[in-house]
Amino acid sequence: MSQEIDLNSLRSLLHEKPDLVLLDVRLADDYAAGHLPGAKNNCVYEVAFGGRMEDIAADKATPLCVYGANENSHESRMAAEKLDRAGYESVYDYRGGVDDWSREGAALEGSASPLDEPRIQEGRYPVDLEESRVGWTGRNLLNKHTGTLQLTSGHLDLVEGTVTGGEFIIDMNSLKCTDLAGSPLHDVLIDHLKSDDFFDVEHYPDIRFRIVSATPVDGRKTGAPNLKVEGELTMKGVTRPVSLMAATGITPEGRLAAQATLSIDRTQWNVIYGSSNFFKRLGGHLVNDELEIELRIVTTKEFELPG
C-alpha cells in the first residue's frame, strides 16, 4: 500500500533512496510551469498513464513518489492508488505537492510562471453555431425518440465574470430524429412533428429562448450545475417562463461554454397532440406531455460590447 508523506519525509527519502523517482502527475503545462527538481511528468488524468509507467519505471520494485498541486487536489492520491493496483511495491504520496514545496521556500524547475485560469473580457459573445448543439427527447409509455436541432443565432452576455443574459434561436426546420436515421420512418415522424399536429413549423419556424436572469450557485465549480437560469421560452407563438440549472465554465481556449437540460410540459405551448389531458381515449397514439431539450452552448472567442 502507498504511504502518505510530508515534506520532511520526502527530503529524507531523496537522501536515503537515490533511485527514488519523483512523479509529477499534473497536466503537462502545469509541470512545465514549475515542478520539483528532477521530477518526471505523467498526467494521471490521461488513459495512457499506466502504459507510460513502463518507460518511467519498468521495475515494480522502483521506489516512486507522486505529487500534485496541493493536499486539496486529489491527483496524487489517485495516482498512488493506480500504482498500488499496478503492483508497484514502494509508492509514496506527497500530498502537499507543489504548493507545500514552494511554501517552504524550495526552488522549482520550469518557467516558474503560474498558470492562470482562462479569463475573458466582459461583453456579448456570439454562439459558435458549429460547436453548439441542441438535442431533444420525446417519450410515450414504453418508447422514446431522440433527435437534434440547429441554432440559427445566439449570444451570451458576461458581466463581472458571470453570465447575465443571452438569447438563442432554434431552427425548427432543422428537426431530425437520430434513432430513426436511415429508416423510412424518419421522414414520416419528422413530417408528423412539423405538421400542425405538433409544432406547426410552417407558421412557427423557430423556438426562442431568452435569459432573463442568471444567478451563480455558491460553492459550485465548473463541471457541476453552477448557474441558476430564469428565462422565457417562446414556442408556437406562446411565451412562458422557464427555469433551469446550467453547468458553465470557460474552455482552455477562452470560450464560454454551458450545458443544460430543460424539461417542459409541451401542452403549455399548445402542443397537445397525444396528450391524455386533452383527449379521452388515445390507444397507441398516447404521447407523454414532457419534452426534454438539451443545450450545449459554446461561444466564439470574439466579443462585442452590448450596445
Answer whether residue 113 is part of any domain.
Answer: no
| 303 confidence band (pLDDT: 50, 70, 90) | low
Beta bridge partners of 157: 124, 165
Do 86 and 140 lie in a common domain? no
- What share of the chain has pLDDT > 70, as a percent? 95
Say if CB 40 and CB 56 are below 8 A apart: yes
Q: Average pLDDT in the 49-67 region?
A: 97
Point out the domain boundary residue: 40, 74, 103: 103
Contact 233, 270 (CB under 8 A): no
What confidence category does residue 85 fall into, taking pLDDT thresholds of 50, 70 and 90? very high
Q: What is the mean pLDDT of residues 29-33?
A: 94
Q: Tell me the pLDDT band of 103, cut-offs 50, 70 and 90.
A: very high
In this structure, is residue 148 part of a structural domain? yes
303 found inside a domain: no
Query: Within this chain, do residues 155 and 194 fall inside the same structural domain, yes or no?
Result: yes
Residues 110-124 pLDDT 10s:
886 655 656 677 889
Domain C-terminal end among 75, 103, 131:
103
Window from 44-58, 102-116, 132-146 with minimum mean pLDDT: 102-116
Per-residue pLDDT tens digits for 121-144: 788 999 999 999 999 999 999 999
Considering the domain architecture, whether residues 146 and 253 belong to the same structural domain is answered as yes
> Which of 39, 74, 103 represents a domain boundary (last residue)?
103
Question: Could you tell me if 63 and 200 lie in one domain?
Answer: no
231 near 242, Cβ under 8 Å? yes
Domain count for the chain: 2
What CATH number does the domain containing 44 carry? 3.40.250.10
Q: Residue 307: what pLDDT?
A: 47
Answer yes or no: do 127 and 263 share one domain: yes
The CATH number for 217's domain is 2.40.128.110
Kindly state the cell numbers that stand for 236: 408556437
Averaged pLDDT score across all residues of the chain? 93
> Is 106:67 a contact under the CB 8 Å cutoff?
no
Q: State the Cα–Cα distance between residues 63 and 65, nearest whole angstrom.
A: 7
Q: What is the mean pLDDT of residues 209-222?
A: 88
Same domain assignment for residues 132 and 83 = no
Residue pair 254/301 in contact (Cβ under 8 Å)? The answer is: yes
Is the residue at 153 inside a domain? yes
Are residues 223 and 90 part of one domain? no
304 pLDDT above the threshold of 60: no
Does one domain contain both 268 and 211? yes
What confidence category does residue 12 fall into, taking pLDDT thresholds of 50, 70 and 90? very high
236 vs 196: CA distance, rounded Å: 10
Say if residue 218 is in the same domain as residue 248. Answer: yes
Q: Are residues 84 and 138 both part of a single domain?
A: no
| Residue 306 resides in a domain | no
Q: Which of 30-44, 59-73, 102-116, 138-152 has the least mean pLDDT?
A: 102-116
Does residue 111 form part of some domain? no
Average pLDDT over residues 26-53: 96
pLDDT given for residue 271 in this prediction = 97
**Considering just the CA atoms, what is the radius of gyration of the chain in Å?**
27
Q: pLDDT value at position 118?
A: 60
Position 26 in a domain: yes
Does one domain contain both 188 and 72? Answer: no
β-pair type (144-159, 162-177): antiparallel
The pLDDT value recorded for residue 114 is 56
pTM over 0.85: no
Q: In this structure, is residue 116 part of a structural domain?
A: no
Confidence of residue 224 (pLDDT cuts 50, 70, 90): confident
The three-state secondary structure class of 226 is: coil
- Shared domain for 183 and 233, answered yes or no, is yes
Phi, psi of 228 (to 5 degrees): -90, 120
b/e map 100-118, b = 16+ CB within 10 Å? bbbeeeeeeebeeeeeeee
Q: Provide the domain limits for residue 17.
A: 3-103
Range 140-163 average pLDDT: 92
